[in-house]
Structure 1
Protein backbone atom coordinates (compact mmCIF):
# COMPACT_ATOMS: atom_id res chain seq x y z
CA UNK A 1 0.00 0.00 0.00
CA UNK A 2 2.75 2.45 0.89
CA UNK A 3 4.27 2.05 -2.58
CA UNK A 4 1.02 3.17 -4.20
CA UNK A 5 0.79 6.18 -1.89
CA UNK A 6 4.43 7.10 -2.55
CA UNK A 7 3.94 6.75 -6.33
CA UNK A 8 0.86 8.98 -6.29
CA UNK A 9 2.48 11.58 -4.06
CA UNK A 10 5.60 11.88 -6.19
CA UNK A 11 3.56 12.08 -9.39
CA UNK A 12 1.43 15.00 -8.20
CA UNK A 13 3.99 16.76 -5.94
CA UNK A 14 5.47 18.82 -8.80
CA UNK A 15 2.21 20.08 -10.30
CA UNK A 16 2.56 23.86 -10.31
CA UNK A 17 0.12 26.16 -8.57
CA UNK A 18 -1.50 28.49 -11.14
CA UNK A 19 -1.07 31.62 -9.00
CA UNK A 20 1.90 31.05 -6.71
CA UNK A 21 5.32 30.11 -8.14
CA UNK A 22 5.49 26.88 -6.13
CA UNK A 23 4.32 23.29 -6.52
CA UNK A 24 1.31 21.70 -4.86
CA UNK A 25 3.71 19.70 -2.71
CA UNK A 26 5.70 22.75 -1.61
CA UNK A 27 2.46 24.55 -0.68
CA UNK A 28 1.21 21.41 1.14
CA UNK A 29 -1.91 21.48 -1.00
CA UNK A 30 -1.26 17.75 -1.30
CA UNK A 31 0.32 15.61 1.40
CA UNK A 32 1.01 11.90 1.74
CA UNK A 33 -1.39 11.80 4.69
CA UNK A 34 -4.17 12.96 2.34
CA UNK A 35 -3.88 9.84 0.15
CA UNK A 36 -5.96 6.82 1.16
CA UNK A 37 -6.02 3.39 -0.47
CA UNK A 38 -8.82 0.98 0.42
CA UNK A 39 -9.06 -2.09 -1.76
CA UNK A 40 -9.21 -0.86 -5.35
CA UNK A 41 -10.26 2.68 -4.38
CA UNK A 42 -7.76 5.52 -4.15
CA UNK A 43 -8.94 8.76 -2.56
CA UNK A 44 -6.78 11.85 -2.79
CA UNK A 45 -7.81 14.74 -0.58
CA UNK A 46 -6.31 18.15 -1.23
CA UNK A 47 -6.59 21.58 0.34
CA UNK A 48 -6.84 24.80 -1.64
CA UNK A 49 -4.66 27.64 -0.38
CA UNK A 50 -7.78 29.80 0.18
CA UNK A 51 -11.53 29.03 0.45
CA UNK A 52 -12.35 31.14 -2.59
CA UNK A 53 -9.53 29.86 -4.84
CA UNK A 54 -10.65 30.63 -8.39
CA UNK A 55 -8.41 27.93 -9.86
CA UNK A 56 -9.58 25.07 -7.63
CA UNK A 57 -11.26 23.15 -10.44
CA UNK A 58 -8.19 23.48 -12.66
CA UNK A 59 -5.97 22.23 -9.83
CA UNK A 60 -8.21 19.21 -9.23
CA UNK A 61 -8.34 18.46 -12.96
CA UNK A 62 -4.56 18.77 -13.22
CA UNK A 63 -4.20 16.14 -10.48
CA UNK A 64 -6.55 13.79 -12.36
CA UNK A 65 -4.87 14.38 -15.74
CA UNK A 66 -1.37 13.87 -14.33
CA UNK A 67 -2.40 10.63 -12.62
CA UNK A 68 -4.21 9.33 -15.70
CA UNK A 69 -1.04 9.88 -17.72
CA UNK A 70 1.49 8.49 -15.25
CA UNK A 71 -0.24 6.05 -12.90
CA UNK A 72 -0.31 3.30 -15.49
CA UNK A 73 0.45 0.46 -13.07
CA UNK A 74 -2.76 1.16 -11.18
CA UNK A 75 -5.34 1.28 -13.99
CA UNK A 76 -7.60 -1.15 -12.10
CA UNK A 77 -8.02 1.36 -9.25
CA UNK A 78 -10.88 3.85 -9.04
CA UNK A 79 -9.48 7.28 -8.20
CA UNK A 80 -11.41 9.98 -6.35
CA UNK A 81 -10.06 13.50 -5.96
CA UNK A 82 -11.76 15.36 -3.13
CA UNK A 83 -11.39 18.86 -1.67
CA UNK A 84 -10.92 18.54 2.08
CA UNK A 85 -14.08 19.45 4.01
CA UNK A 86 -14.79 23.12 4.68
CA UNK A 87 -11.78 24.35 2.71
CA UNK A 88 -13.47 25.69 -0.42
CA UNK A 89 -16.72 27.56 -1.04
CA UNK A 90 -17.57 25.35 -4.06
CA UNK A 91 -16.33 22.00 -2.75
CA UNK A 92 -19.33 19.93 -3.88
CA UNK A 93 -19.29 21.33 -7.44
CA UNK A 94 -15.54 20.79 -7.79
CA UNK A 95 -15.71 17.24 -6.43
CA UNK A 96 -18.61 16.42 -8.75
CA UNK A 97 -16.92 17.86 -11.85
CA UNK A 98 -13.57 16.15 -11.36
CA UNK A 99 -14.97 12.74 -10.33
CA UNK A 100 -17.83 12.40 -12.82
CA UNK A 101 -16.44 10.58 -15.85
CA UNK A 102 -18.64 12.35 -18.43
CA UNK A 103 -17.99 15.81 -16.98
CA UNK A 104 -14.28 15.09 -16.79
CA UNK A 105 -14.13 13.90 -20.41
CA UNK A 106 -16.08 16.96 -21.55
CA UNK A 107 -13.63 19.22 -19.72
CA UNK A 108 -10.74 17.44 -21.41
CA UNK A 109 -12.19 18.33 -24.82
CA UNK A 110 -11.80 22.03 -24.00
CA UNK A 111 -8.56 22.98 -25.77
CA UNK A 112 -8.01 26.15 -23.72
CA UNK A 113 -8.46 24.25 -20.45
CA UNK A 114 -6.11 21.45 -21.53
CA UNK A 115 -3.43 23.96 -22.55
CA UNK A 116 -3.75 25.58 -19.13
CA UNK A 117 -3.55 22.23 -17.31
CA UNK A 118 -0.57 21.13 -19.39
CA UNK A 119 1.28 24.26 -18.25
CA UNK A 120 0.71 23.16 -14.65
CA UNK A 121 1.75 19.53 -15.04
CA UNK A 122 4.80 19.83 -17.34
Structure 2
Protein backbone atom coordinates (compact mmCIF):
# COMPACT_ATOMS: atom_id res chain seq x y z
CA UNK A 1 0.00 0.00 0.00
CA UNK A 2 1.04 3.62 -0.52
CA UNK A 3 2.03 5.70 2.51
CA UNK A 4 0.32 8.98 1.48
CA UNK A 5 -3.17 8.54 0.11
CA UNK A 6 -4.18 10.51 -2.97
CA UNK A 7 -7.87 10.10 -2.07
CA UNK A 8 -7.96 9.62 1.69
CA UNK A 9 -11.77 9.35 1.92
CA UNK A 10 -13.12 7.53 -1.15
CA UNK A 11 -16.82 6.77 -1.58
CA UNK A 12 -17.42 3.04 -1.03
CA UNK A 13 -20.17 1.19 -2.94
CA UNK A 14 -21.74 -2.22 -2.37
CA UNK A 15 -20.45 -5.26 -4.22
CA UNK A 16 -22.86 -7.07 -6.53
CA UNK A 17 -23.66 -10.74 -6.10
CA UNK A 18 -21.87 -12.91 -8.63
CA UNK A 19 -23.19 -15.92 -10.46
CA UNK A 20 -21.12 -19.07 -10.41
CA UNK A 21 -19.96 -20.13 -13.86
CA UNK A 22 -20.87 -23.67 -14.74
CA UNK A 23 -18.03 -26.14 -15.01
CA UNK A 24 -18.53 -29.24 -17.19
CA UNK A 25 -18.43 -32.48 -15.29
CA UNK A 26 -15.80 -35.11 -16.00
CA UNK A 27 -18.60 -37.41 -17.20
CA UNK A 28 -19.69 -35.00 -19.93
CA UNK A 29 -19.23 -36.35 -23.46
CA UNK A 30 -17.88 -33.10 -24.86
CA UNK A 31 -16.18 -30.21 -23.17
CA UNK A 32 -18.29 -27.16 -23.97
CA UNK A 33 -16.45 -23.90 -23.59
CA UNK A 34 -18.60 -20.99 -22.38
CA UNK A 35 -17.87 -17.74 -24.15
CA UNK A 36 -16.07 -15.15 -22.08
CA UNK A 37 -18.33 -12.34 -20.90
CA UNK A 38 -18.17 -9.18 -18.76
CA UNK A 39 -18.51 -11.09 -15.50
CA UNK A 40 -15.59 -13.31 -16.41
CA UNK A 41 -13.46 -10.20 -16.74
CA UNK A 42 -15.03 -8.35 -13.82
CA UNK A 43 -13.23 -10.03 -10.98
CA UNK A 44 -12.34 -8.64 -7.60
CA UNK A 45 -9.16 -6.60 -7.77
CA UNK A 46 -7.85 -4.60 -4.83
CA UNK A 47 -7.09 -0.92 -5.04
CA UNK A 48 -3.34 -0.16 -4.66
CA UNK A 49 -4.05 2.56 -2.05
CA UNK A 50 -7.04 1.27 -0.11
CA UNK A 51 -8.20 -2.04 1.39
CA UNK A 52 -11.20 -1.96 -0.99
CA UNK A 53 -11.85 -3.62 -4.30
CA UNK A 54 -11.96 -1.65 -7.54
CA UNK A 55 -15.65 -2.58 -7.66
CA UNK A 56 -16.32 -1.05 -4.23
CA UNK A 57 -14.67 2.19 -5.36
CA UNK A 58 -16.51 2.08 -8.73
CA UNK A 59 -13.18 2.30 -10.51
CA UNK A 60 -14.45 -0.50 -12.75
CA UNK A 61 -18.00 -1.57 -13.48
CA UNK A 62 -19.41 -4.39 -15.57
CA UNK A 63 -20.89 -1.81 -17.96
CA UNK A 64 -17.38 -0.49 -18.69
CA UNK A 65 -16.18 -3.87 -19.98
CA UNK A 66 -16.60 -4.74 -23.65
CA UNK A 67 -16.07 -8.35 -24.70
CA UNK A 68 -16.19 -9.69 -28.24
CA UNK A 69 -15.47 -13.38 -27.73
CA UNK A 70 -15.73 -14.13 -31.45
CA UNK A 71 -13.10 -11.56 -32.38
CA UNK A 72 -10.99 -12.19 -29.27
CA UNK A 73 -11.21 -8.60 -28.06
CA UNK A 74 -11.60 -7.16 -24.56
CA UNK A 75 -11.71 -3.47 -23.63
CA UNK A 76 -11.80 -2.34 -20.02
CA UNK A 77 -12.46 1.31 -19.30
CA UNK A 78 -11.79 2.36 -15.74
CA UNK A 79 -12.48 5.55 -13.83
CA UNK A 80 -9.96 6.70 -11.20
CA UNK A 81 -11.51 8.05 -7.99
CA UNK A 82 -9.86 11.45 -8.53
CA UNK A 83 -8.72 13.15 -11.76
CA UNK A 84 -5.10 13.53 -10.60
CA UNK A 85 -4.78 9.91 -9.36
CA UNK A 86 -1.11 8.94 -9.45
CA UNK A 87 -2.14 5.28 -9.21
CA UNK A 88 -4.03 5.27 -12.54
CA UNK A 89 -1.19 3.57 -14.43
CA UNK A 90 -0.75 1.01 -11.64
CA UNK A 91 -4.50 0.23 -11.67
CA UNK A 92 -4.40 -0.13 -15.46
CA UNK A 93 -1.31 -2.33 -15.23
CA UNK A 94 -3.08 -4.52 -12.65
CA UNK A 95 -6.04 -4.90 -15.00
CA UNK A 96 -3.77 -5.73 -17.94
CA UNK A 97 -1.72 -8.29 -16.00
CA UNK A 98 -4.86 -9.96 -14.63
CA UNK A 99 -6.26 -10.31 -18.15
CA UNK A 100 -2.95 -11.50 -19.61
CA UNK A 101 -2.76 -14.17 -16.92
CA UNK A 102 -6.36 -15.33 -17.22
CA UNK A 103 -7.42 -14.96 -20.87
CA UNK A 104 -6.34 -17.17 -23.74
CA UNK A 105 -3.48 -15.61 -25.72
CA UNK A 106 -5.74 -15.04 -28.74
CA UNK A 107 -7.33 -12.04 -26.99
CA UNK A 108 -6.32 -8.46 -27.72
CA UNK A 109 -6.65 -6.44 -24.53
CA UNK A 110 -7.30 -2.70 -24.53
CA UNK A 111 -7.18 -0.86 -21.18
CA UNK A 112 -8.39 2.74 -21.08
CA UNK A 113 -9.08 5.52 -18.62
CA UNK A 114 -12.65 6.78 -19.00
CA UNK A 115 -12.77 9.90 -21.16
CA UNK A 116 -12.48 13.05 -19.07
CA UNK A 117 -11.77 11.19 -15.82
CA UNK A 118 -8.02 11.83 -15.53
CA UNK A 119 -5.82 14.90 -15.98
CA UNK A 120 -3.27 12.98 -18.11
CA UNK A 121 -5.71 10.59 -19.80
CA UNK A 122 -3.89 10.39 -23.16
CA UNK A 123 -0.51 9.68 -21.54
CA UNK A 124 -1.97 7.01 -19.24
CA UNK A 125 -3.77 5.30 -22.14
CA UNK A 126 -0.61 5.36 -24.25
CA UNK A 127 1.44 3.85 -21.42
CA UNK A 128 -1.09 1.10 -20.68
CA UNK A 129 -1.39 -0.04 -24.29
CA UNK A 130 2.27 0.06 -25.32
CA UNK A 131 3.70 -3.47 -25.12
CA UNK A 132 7.27 -2.26 -24.58
CA UNK A 133 6.30 0.07 -21.75
CA UNK A 134 4.23 -2.63 -20.08
CA UNK A 135 7.10 -5.12 -20.41
CA UNK A 136 9.55 -2.57 -18.94
CA UNK A 137 7.18 -1.85 -16.03
CA UNK A 138 6.94 -5.57 -15.29
CA UNK A 139 10.73 -5.77 -14.96
CA UNK A 140 10.53 -3.50 -11.90
CA UNK A 141 10.35 -5.84 -8.85
CA UNK A 142 8.65 -3.22 -6.64
CA UNK A 143 5.97 -2.60 -9.23
CA UNK A 144 5.44 -6.33 -9.78
CA UNK A 145 4.99 -6.78 -6.01
CA UNK A 146 2.36 -4.01 -6.01
CA UNK A 147 0.56 -5.58 -8.98
CA UNK A 148 0.62 -9.01 -7.33
CA UNK A 149 -0.81 -7.51 -4.14
CA UNK A 150 -3.68 -5.95 -6.10
CA UNK A 151 -4.36 -9.28 -7.81
CA UNK A 152 -4.28 -11.31 -4.59
CA UNK A 153 -7.69 -12.68 -3.68
CA UNK A 154 -9.17 -11.15 -0.57
CA UNK A 155 -11.07 -13.47 1.69
CA UNK A 156 -13.74 -11.61 3.59
Q: Report the TM range for the smaller structure's normalisation.
A: 0.7 to 0.9
Corresponding residue for residue 6 of structure 2:
none
Q: How far apart, in 1, do the equivalents of 2:36 and 2:129 lie?
A: 23
* Residue correspondence of structure 1 range 24-35 to structure 2 within 5 A: 24-35=54-65
Aligned equivalent of 1:84, options 108, 114, 122: 114
Two-structure CA RMSD over aligned residues (Å):
1.6
Number of aligned residue pairs: 117
Deviation at 1:2, TM superposition (A): 7.1
Match of 2:42, SS state, is helix
Point out where structure 1 has 5 or more consecutive residues left out of the alignment.
none
Point out where structure 2 has 5 or more consecutive residues left out of the alignment.
1-33
Aligned equivalent of 1:56, options 88, 92, 106: 88
Question: Once the two structures are superposed, what CA deviation does each residue of 1:76-111 show, in whole Å capped at 9, x if it has no partner?
Answer: 110100000000011111111111111111111111
Matched, 1:44 2:56: no
Corresponding residue for residue 126 of structure 2:
96
Match of 1:18, SS state, is coil
TM-score, normalised to structure 2, is 0.70
Instruction: Specify which structure has the bigger relative contact order, considering alpha-carbon pairs within 8 angstroms and separated by 6 or more residues.
Output: 1
Q: Hey, which of these two has a bigger chunk of helix by percent?
A: 1
